[in-house]
Structure formats: structure tokens, C-alpha cells
Amino acid sequence: MDIQMIERGLHQSAVALQTATFGMGCFWGPDARFGSLLGVIRTRVGYAGGTTISPTYRNLGDHTETVEIDFDPDILSYEDVLRHFWRNHYPNRDEYKGRQYLSLLRYRSADQLKAIEHVKKEMEYEIGESIETDIAPFSNFTLAEERHQKYYVKRYPKALEQLQPLFPNPSMLVNSTFAARLNGFVKGFRSKESILTEIEEWKIDVAGKQALMELFRKMKW
């Protein structure tokens, strides 16, 4: 099975995909959380928000751990993406150590900024305090090391063995919608039944769809 070929239809939405970049503390959890959402096509973790050249996990400099998501706005609006962002971490700086775990948001267009301003007011009313998220235009994102991508799936060696024919190179997990859903599943954000139901609706090759569903049903963790 060629996972890239199977998932190609998901990556060719009638409406152009949008990208969101968030810092929410340690990036492993947000990667799984957003990867579980209907409408999210890809997730990846990395470093953003600073000026240090070529940041790494051991040498972040002034960057922040971030998650980037590509999503289909026909299925999941940017406003709802923002609500997931603000409802799932504490957005004030006194809870964080330096910039590594900063509440951070980088926008890519005037429309995204307009949505941010609207939803931020809504969330401040909901949580009952001002939000101190570091909000600025997008400027850079450096992909984190391979070991951090789809971190929770990689905690299950038996599952990785079963996925090896589909992902012969672990780096292929980064851009896979199926891998994003698996990562959300093992973290407890989705049930097996809900993911199988979703795959059934994916606009992909029928044989590929059946192969993915069969693999997921039989996976041992």
C-alpha cells in the first residue's frame, strides 16, 4: 500500500487548506489533540516564534515548542480551531518557564487575525480573565526532530511494526492523516469506532479505504 497515494484525495480539498500555528506547552499533547479532529489533514511539531537560527530541542534559543496543523475550512472553521486552542491550555504567561512552553499564536492572514480578535474576546468571557497569548504574524517554523513527530504512536513498538509496511520510513508519519488519527486515538481523544466511521466517509480509493480500516481493526498495541 502506498499511503501517500491512498490519502491524496484528502489533500486536494475543493477549498484550499489553511494552516494554524500554536504554542500550548509541550507539543506532544497538542499534536495528538488536533490530529484527532475531523477536518485536520496534517499535523507536525516544531519550533517557532523566535530568531535563533536552526533551533533544535536541545538548543531552542528564543523559540517556542509549537504544533502546526493543515485543515479543511469547509469541515473545520478557523474559529473552531481557535476555540480548541484556547480551551485546552492555560493562556497566561506566569504558568510557563521561559519561552519554550509559551502560549503562542502565529497568524497568516488578515482574515485569521480578525477571527483571532473575535474568538479571543469570546474566550476571555468564557474563562473570566484576560488572555496573554503571544500573538503575532507568522514568520518561521522549524520542523522538530523525527522522534517528536506523532510521539504517542511511537510509544507502541508493536503498533509501529504493524505500520511499517505502510510507513517504511518513520518520517512519513508526519504528513499522514491516518497517522494523525492514530496519534489522537492512543492519547484517548478518539474512539476506534469514531475513526472507522470517519475513514468510511473519506473521499479516497475504495480499496485503500478498506485496507486502512482492516489494518486499524486488527492493530495490536
**For 47, phi and psi rounded to 5 degrees?**
-130, 135
Buried b (16+ CB within 10 A) or exposed e, 116-146: beebbeebeeeeeeebebeeeebebbbebee
Kindly report whether the global pTM for this prediction surpasses the value 0.85: yes
Domain presence at residue 56: yes
Whether residue 109 is found in the same domain as residue 178:
no
Residue 14 confidence (pLDDT): 59
Helical H segments across 12-105, by residue range? 28-35, 78-87
Residue 13 confidence (pLDDT): 62
Q: Which of 10, 26, 143, 172 is catalytic?
A: 26
Q: Which residue has the cell 484528502?
A: 10
* DSSP string across 92-105: SGGGSSTTTT-EEE
Residue 4 confidence (pLDDT): 80
Q: Which residue has the cell 469514531?
A: 194
CA distances from 129 to 79, 90, 93, 115, 137 (A): 20, 11, 13, 19, 24
Residue 97 confidence (pLDDT): 64
- Tell me if residue 26 is catalytic: yes
Helical H segments across 75-131, by residue range? 78-87, 110-127
Whether residue 153 is found in the same domain as residue 211:
yes
**Secondary structure (3-state) at 162:** helix
Which sign, positive or negative, has the C-alpha torsion 30, 80, 77, 216?
Answer: positive
Domain presence at residue 1: no
Q: Alpha carbon 23 to chain centroid distance?
A: 11
Low-confidence ranges of the chain (pLDDT < 50): none
Whether residue 53 is found in the same domain as residue 34:
yes
Residue 10 confidence (pLDDT): 77
| All three cell numbers of 90 | 492555560
Which sign, positive or negative, has the C-alpha torsion 168, 173, 177, 182?
Answer: positive
Whether residue 203 is found in the same domain as residue 104:
no
Whether residue 44 is found in the same domain as residue 122:
yes
Tell which of 131, 146, 161 closes a domain. 146
Question: What are the tens digits of pLDDT across the range 109-168?
Answer: 999 999 999 999 999 999 999 999 999 999 999 999 999 999 999 999 999 999 999 999
Residue 112 confidence (pLDDT): 98
Which CATH number covers residue 104? 3.30.1060.10
Alpha-carbon span 124 to 105, nearest angstrom: 16
Residues 6+ apart with CB under 8 A from 199: 178, 181, 209, 212, 213, 216
Looking at the structure of the chain, the number of domains it has is: 2
Residue 86 confidence (pLDDT): 97
Residue 162 confidence (pLDDT): 94
Whether residue 122 is found in the same domain as residue 159:
no
Query: Do residues 49 and 99 lie in contact, with contact meaning Cβ atoms separated by under 8 Å?
Result: yes
Residue 98 confidence (pLDDT): 78
| Domain coverage including residue 141 | 15-146
